[in-house]
A and B are shown apart, each in its own frame.
Chain A
Amino acid sequence: MTDLDDFRADTRAWLEANCPAEMREPLRSEADMCWGGRNWTFQSDAQQRWLEVMAERGWTVPDWPKDYGGGGLTPEQAIVVKEEMARIGARQPLYSFGISMLGPALLKFGTEEQKRHYLPQIARGEIRWCQGYSEPGAGSDLAGLQTKAEDKGDHWLVNGQKVWTSYADKADWIFCLVRTSSESKQGGISFLLFDMETPGVSTKPILLISGSSPFCETFFDDVKVPKDQVVGEVNKGWDVAKYLLGHEREMISGMGLGGGGSLGAAVKPADPLLRAEIAAFDVDALAFQAMSERFTAMWKAGEAHPASPSMMKYAGTELNKRRNELVIAAGGSDALEWDSERSKHGKAARDWLRSKGNSIEGGTSEVQLNIVAKHILRLPGA
């Protein structure tokens, strides 16, 4: 038995003893996902217990250092935890932009005080974060953002507007890109953290074509932010933002499989031409799955090109859109029902419409292709 085998056996036993049966059921809907935060209401005792025992062990973030609320595990051990959770169908105890996006940026760019203050709250699910990046005039051209933070000596004064802020209406804190200098486009941006309850912050949900409102417009009107809430250096926030976008793209690219498994086996297409298209999709999905495994291994080993998350994000999201198109095609008129119980309140149609945003949010497909052309292929003028 190797150490890793021992670790696996221990992990298996611990999960068996501590993961509530209810938390081994597949998610029935988005409402079953636990996001934590100051205003979170647990759906059940089991959901609360599961988060608490996992956070206690540091396993909401198994590979973060123990000092910051993590499990202190090696990458190999963290994979074992993931595999053993998958083995019993255990739900993710906490969904969190703090874990997937802000945390890695703080680990890399934060001061020791910032890490000790913010990371354990993220790991325990006590603070729910949202991301303030896009603005009405700065979408694909993100660095053109105009939300201003003025240095008022003892605080920053923030004014402006963000858009596409995921769950801003439910979040406790925001990590936000602001303009602290107009002298340079990318070199005048800073990365600011602040409480969404600060006076002057307001949000307004945006109703999407899918009928849901995961995004908001967020307004800042003379918002006072303490000076020590900048991550990294003032005017060097673009480096933090780019690093964080890499993580976001990595996360979004993972959605390409839409829950995994063969699409054809799930929908059993009767029409031979549709079957052929679905078979072509399944080939691409399985090939992309191999790519995801290879990318993850190479990324961890430092062998992947720094711009490769853009390639993954592009391929994964385009694949997910295609999957949803085919689900709609295979479902026929059943898949067009919007409200019925029978259709799980229009799940197929709503998922299909929601998937259209995959290749827009986190940098459009076109922006990802620009990045690959410039940084990987080194094409001229790109």
Chain B
Amino acid sequence: MLLTDDQKMLQETASSFLSEEGSIAKELRRWRDCECDDGFGHALWKQFAELGLTGIAIAESAGGMGLGATEAALVLEEIGRNLTPSPFLITATVAARAIEGTQHAERWYPAVLAGEAVLALAIDEGPRHAPEETALEAKRQGNGFVLNGRKQFVAQGSSADMIVTAARTSAGRDGITLFAVPTGTAEVENVTLADNSRAARLTFDNVALDADSVIGEVDGGWAPLARALNAGRAGAAAELVGVAAGASAMTFDYLRQRKQFGKLIGEFQALQHRAAHLYGEIEIARAAALKAAQLIDSGDERAELYVSVAKAKAAEVASLAVREGVQMHGGIGMTDEHDIGLFMKREAVLGEMFGDVYYHRNRVAELSGY
């Protein structure tokens, strides 16, 4: 469970790049306060590309870095720590995995590698994550399909050049088909979330797609979707660990500086014990996220179980970190001027994405046979 030298080097690269170029002041606050449509900066996405990071999951033969979930997790932890808004999680790890090995990879990988394209993934249809219950209808018509239904919580959906969309072509888990939905087909409502990220609501009203837009096989969508979900869940877990680490570092610093009753507040044992507990929980969440990523990379059959463990644990711990963060900062923590509240907002969105704590605890129970 130790990182290799190459992995440590990548971690250092990501850490210095994101703390310098992707900081809260430079990116998150800038894009929040400018009332722009995307909620992230395309110039920074280009920089991701220059470092090769947009191709982290793309095979070396296709021009990418050909790396695994473990390396993606290292980058995502740094993204979480800096609250950097970017399409990295969804475009470079999730959508890139979903279209792997299909003609859509040939179509989109070059633009992703260049940092010129954004891809999205549309799964959720109600306020809760339930991919097995996908209902968006795709009916055969002539040489193609007609889609009717809706999607929501599509991260960066309105910025995306193509949206990988899960639709139902027949009953059951084997009745799901993935489509590559280009811009200008479904109706897109751009929604701003609490953390200033954007998530589209899509309405499909007799949207006609040709047969080429099918990703992989008709009724064969579950396998690539599961691959993409594993990547997304493990990735979101890693980013949540970063959010927890960033929020707690800020909070521990505050405990070492803020004085009340003539003392540094970090001298109070009531706060010391809570801080020490939080520290341990973050270490455990990081170990779980790393383990999930490593099991994905080694093709281990326990990967799915550990992905749910990691997502549930990381969300729970990040939630603790931001709640303790705001509380221990006191009044200043409630102000927009201070950054600690931004961690709380990001945690809420990431915690929900790809299934919340309850979804994944339930999954752990089901996968364990109870």
Report yes or no: B2 in contact with A303, Cβ–Cβ below 8 A.
Answer: yes
- If A314-B280, A369-B273, A372-B276 touch, whether A286 touches B287 (CB-CB below 8 Å) is no
| In the complex, chain A residues whose CB is within 8 Å of the CB of B204 | none
Within the assembled complex, what's the spacing in Å between the Cα atoms of A376 and B277? 12
Report yes or no: A379 in contact with B252, Cβ–Cβ below 8 A.
Answer: yes
Within the assembled complex, what's the spacing in Å between the Cα atoms of A315 and B317? 14
**Residue B250, interface by CB 8 Å:** no
**Residue B349, interface by CB 8 Å:** no
Q: Indicate which residue in A265, A290, A294, A378 contacts B306 across the interface (CB closer than 8 Å).
A: A290
| In the complex, chain B residues whose CB is within 8 Å of the CB of A298 | 1-2
**Residue A287, interface by CB 8 Å:** yes
Report yes or no: B284 in contact with A287, Cβ–Cβ below 8 A.
Answer: yes
Q: Indicate which residue in B271, B279, B316, B368 contacts A311 across the interface (CB closer than 8 Å).
A: B279
| In the complex, chain A residues whose CB is within 8 Å of the CB of B255 | 379-380
Within the assembled complex, what's the spacing in Å between the Cα atoms of A329 and B308? 25
Identify which of A146-154, A185-193, A277-285 touches chain B: A277-285
Q: Indicate which residue in A262, A268, A291, A369 contacts B287 across the interface (CB closer than 8 Å).
A: A291
- If A283-B313, A294-B1, A373-B272 touch, whether A380 touches B279 (CB-CB below 8 Å) is no
**Residue B263, interface by CB 8 Å:** yes
Within the assembled complex, what's the spacing in Å between the Cα atoms of A265 and B370? 6
- If A282-B365, A297-B1 touch, whether A377 touches B306 (CB-CB below 8 Å) is no
**Residue B264, interface by CB 8 Å:** yes
Contacts of A255-273 to chain B: CB distance below 8 A: 262, 264-265, 268-269
Residue of A whose beta carbon sits closest to that of B274: A369
The number of chain A residues touching the other chain, given as a range, is 35 or more
Q: Indicate which residue in A264, A284, A369, A377 contacts B368 across the interface (CB closer than 8 Å).
A: A264
Contacts of B261-316 to chain A: CB distance below 8 A: 263-264, 266-267, 269, 271-273, 275-277, 279-281, 283-285, 287-288, 290-291, 305-306, 308-310, 312-313, 316
Chain B nearest CB, measured from A253 CB (Å): 11
Report yes or no: A379 in contact with B266, Cβ–Cβ below 8 A.
Answer: yes
Report yes or no: A377 in contact with B276, Cβ–Cβ below 8 A.
Answer: yes
Across the A-B interface, the 10 shortest Cβ-Cβ residue pairs: A381-B267, A290-B291, A372-B276, A287-B288, A373-B272, A262-B368, A291-B287, A279-B365, A379-B266, A264-B370
CB pairs A–B below 8 angstroms (12 shown): A283-B361, A284-B284, A286-B309, A287-B310, A290-B284, A294-B291, A368-B276, A379-B256, A379-B272, A380-B255, A381-B264, A381-B266
| In the complex, chain A residues whose CB is within 8 Å of the CB of B252 | 377, 379
Report yes or no: B365 in contact with A275, Cβ–Cβ below 8 A.
Answer: yes
**Residue A301, interface by CB 8 Å:** yes
Q: Mark interface residues in A333-366 (1 if CB within 8 Å of B CB, else 0).
A: 0000000000000000000000000000000001
| In the complex, chain A residues whose CB is within 8 Å of the CB of B284 | 284, 287-288, 290-291, 315
**Residue B369, interface by CB 8 Å:** yes
| In the complex, chain A residues whose CB is within 8 Å of the CB of B360 | 283
**Residue A382, interface by CB 8 Å:** yes
Q: Indicate which residue in B267, B277, B288, B290 contacts A379 across the interface (CB closer than 8 Å).
A: B267
**Residue B335, interface by CB 8 Å:** no
Looking at A276, A366, A372, the one whose CB has the most chain B CB atoms below 10 A away is A372
Report yes or no: B306 in contact with A286, Cβ–Cβ below 8 A.
Answer: yes
Residue of A whose beta carbon sits closest to that of B313: A287
Report yes or no: B280 in contact with A311, Cβ–Cβ below 8 A.
Answer: yes
Q: Mark interface residues in B245-266 (1 if CB within 8 Å of A CB, else 0).
A: 0000000100110000001101
Report yes or no: B272 in contact with A262, Cβ–Cβ below 8 A.
Answer: no
Within the assembled complex, what's the spacing in Å between the Cα atoms of A303 and B369? 37
- If A287-B287, A373-B272 touch, whether A297 touches B365 (CB-CB below 8 Å) is no
The number of chain B residues touching the other chain, given as a range, is 35 or more
Within the assembled complex, what's the spacing in Å between the Cα atoms of A382 and B279? 15
**Residue B364, interface by CB 8 Å:** yes
| In the complex, chain A residues whose CB is within 8 Å of the CB of B288 | 286-287, 290-291
**Residue B102, interface by CB 8 Å:** no
Within the assembled complex, what's the spacing in Å between the Cα atoms of A308 and B280? 9
Q: Indicate which residue in B266, B276, B277, B309 contacts A380 across the interface (CB closer than 8 Å).
A: B266
| In the complex, chain A residues whose CB is within 8 Å of the CB of B267 | 379-382
**Residue A30, interface by CB 8 Å:** no
**Contacts A372-B276, A379-B266, A380-B256 supplied; 10 other A-B pairs, CB < 8 Å:** A264-B370, A276-B361, A287-B284, A290-B1, A290-B290, A293-B287, A303-B2, A369-B277, A380-B255, A382-B267
Residue of B whose beta carbon sits closest to that of A319: B284
Report yes or no: A264 in contact with B291, Cβ–Cβ below 8 A.
Answer: no
Within the assembled complex, what's the spacing in Å between the Cα atoms of A377 and B279? 8
Within the assembled complex, what's the spacing in Å between the Cα atoms of A366 and B277? 10
Contacts of B117-162 to chain A: CB distance below 8 A: none
Within the assembled complex, what's the spacing in Å between the Cα atoms of A56 and B316? 49
Q: Indicate which residue in B266, B269, B273, B309 contacts A283 across the interface (CB closer than 8 Å).
A: B309
Within the assembled complex, what's the spacing in Å between the Cα atoms of A217 and B305? 46
| In the complex, chain A residues whose CB is within 8 Å of the CB of B291 | 290, 293-294
| In the complex, chain B residues whose CB is within 8 Å of the CB of A287 | 284-285, 287-288, 309-310, 313
**Residue A11, interface by CB 8 Å:** no
Chain B nearest CB, measured from A278 CB (Å): 7
**Residue B362, interface by CB 8 Å:** yes
Residue of B whose beta carbon sits closest to that of A378: B256
Chain A nearest CB, measured from B12 CB (Å): 15
Within the assembled complex, what's the spacing in Å between the Cα atoms of A373 and B358? 31
Residue of A whose beta carbon sits closest to that of B2: A297
Report yes or no: B272 in contact with A264, Cβ–Cβ below 8 A.
Answer: no
Chain B nearest CB, measured from A319 CB (Å): 10
**Residue A370, interface by CB 8 Å:** yes
Chain A nearest CB, measured from B367 CB (Å): 9
Within the assembled complex, what's the spacing in Å between the Cα atoms of A294 and B310? 14
Within the assembled complex, what's the spacing in Å between the Cα atoms of A221 and B259? 51
Chain A nearest CB, measured from B186 CB (Å): 36
